[in-house]
Amino acid sequence: MYVKARTELERITPYALGQTIEEIKEQYGITTVRKLSDNENGYGTSPRVREAIMQASAHLAFYPDGMTSGIVEKLSAHYQLDQKHFLVTNGSEEIIRLLTRAYIDKNDEAVMAEVTFPRYKTNVLIEGGRAVTVPMVDGKHDLQKMQEAISEKTKMVFVCNPNNPTGTIVAKQELLSFIDSVPGNVLIIMDEAYFEYADSEEYLDTMPLLDQYKNLVILRTFSKIYGLASLRVGYGIMHEDIAKELHKVRDVFNVNQLAQAAAVAALEDQAFVQDCSVKNSAERCFLSGKFKELEIDSFPSQSNFLYAFTNRPVIQTLTENGVLVRQMQLPGYKEAFRITLGTREDHEFILQIVSQQFHERAV
């Protein structure tokens, strides 16, 4: 290639996508694939969404609303918070990119956990910044060490809560002291993509802190519990001065019209969200408990997936039977994987094939 790309890109590896459903079907000669590899909502989408998309599809020739006013109005009412705090984007991944675009200069640092959502690091590197990663303790963020890692060059810290891929949360009081300890000229980015799945007493709702901490940015998404991953809608909640900077670097029509109509309809159906959350908590408890009986451990999860680890062979059995999970590496264990929680039927199928395989090996 004769045209050289920016030097920063030499350090970037493209995001590793898992195998597709079609590839798995072909490879193993099976007809049913259970895709539990990307933390999507196994219960689908609110039925209201499809109707809203049909209606919006009458206006495809026109550009969408560049201010996503419909969603912002609904979010503002939902959270009882002024509209000026919201920025809606093409997935919350876009917000991460806008934050690094707007705030990371060459050689600036961003502090983050070692095992967390990979998009933080990638976007920091693209801007020529440095990712300072802090090892986990039992799958959790080490907030003490993260605080110590903040230097004069630090521009932002990322806290993924619940964390992807480990599923863990940081304890309320610890997080409060951490937020309080971060200097005012460092952005605190709380990625709460799995917010609606957390039901622990120890989970901190950061929204009430916005007034006090003007450097706080909260990220949430329609991709997970709202079941709109294919449409790409996420949002950030932040001080209006930060929102103003992000508006400067975003695409003008960043959220398409069908996605906007879908997100509005999805927000109106909080009963669906509640129902998914309740079912998810029950399945989380069920699957982690049954896994434990099979000597498959997992970190305590507050999200819609488990990070599981074991010394018994599991992943190959799952894949051959059409259960797609995300392979991970955890020192001290032969196998580690992230599995999205599905329905009870999915879990019974999984437990059956895994215990059958263990049994066969034992005899």
Ligand X SMILES: *Cc1c(COP(=O)(O)O)cnc(C)c1O
Binding site for ligand X (CB under 6 A): 39, 91-93, 117, 160, 164, 191, 193, 221, 223-224, 229, 234
Q: Which is nearer to ligand X, 160 or 266 (CB)?
A: 160
Contact between 135 and 111 under an 8 Å Cβ cutoff? The reply is no
335-344 burial, b for 16+ CB within 10 Å, e for fewer?
A: bbbbbbbbee
Q: Which is nearer to ligand X, 117 or 291 (CB)?
A: 117
Q: Which is nearer to ligand X, 221 or 321 (CB)?
A: 221
Q: Which is nearer to ligand X, 94 or 127 (CB)?
A: 94
Distance between CA atoms of residues 177 and 182, nearest Å? 9
Q: Which is nearer to ligand X, 129 or 236 (CB)?
A: 236
Residue nearest to ligand X (CB): 91
171 Cα distance to chain centroid: 19
Q: Which is nearer to ligand X, 56 or 263 (CB)?
A: 263
68-87 burial, b for 16+ CB within 10 Å, e for fewer?
A: bebbbebbeeeeebeeebbb
Contact between 304 and 224 under an 8 Å Cβ cutoff? The reply is yes
How many C-beta atoms surround the C-beta of residue 63 within 10 A?
10
Q: Within a 13 Å sphere around the CA of 172, how many CA atoms are in the beta-carbon half?
A: 8
User: Least Å distance between CB 162 and ligand X?
Assistant: 8
DSSP 8-state assignment for residue 5: P
Torsional class of 232: left (φ above 0), alpha (ψ -120 to 50), beta (otherwise): left
Partner residues linked to 234 by β-bridges: 89, 221
Q: Which is nearer to ligand X, 160 or 323 (CB)?
A: 160
User: Least Å distance between CB 229 and ligand X?
Assistant: 6
Distance between CA atoms of residues 94 and 197, nearest Å? 22
User: Least Å distance between CB 4 and ligand X?
Assistant: 30
User: Least Å distance between CB 14 and ligand X?
Assistant: 16
Contact between 108 and 268 under an 8 Å Cβ cutoff? The reply is no
User: Least Å distance between CB 91 and ligand X?
Assistant: 3
- What SS3 state is found at 309? strand
Closest listed residue to residue 129, CA positions, set 114, 112, 109, 150:
109
Residues 6 or more apart in contact with residue 287 via CB below 8 angstroms: 306, 339, 341, 347, 350, 351
Q: Which is nearer to ligand X, 246 or 354 (CB)?
A: 246
At 237, list the tokens. Answer: 């909640």
Q: Which is nearer to ligand X, 186 or 190 (CB)?
A: 190
User: Least Å distance between CB 68 and ligand X?
Assistant: 14
User: Least Å distance between CB 3 and ligand X?
Assistant: 30
User: Least Å distance between CB 154 and ligand X?
Assistant: 20
User: Least Å distance between CB 167 and ligand X?
Assistant: 10
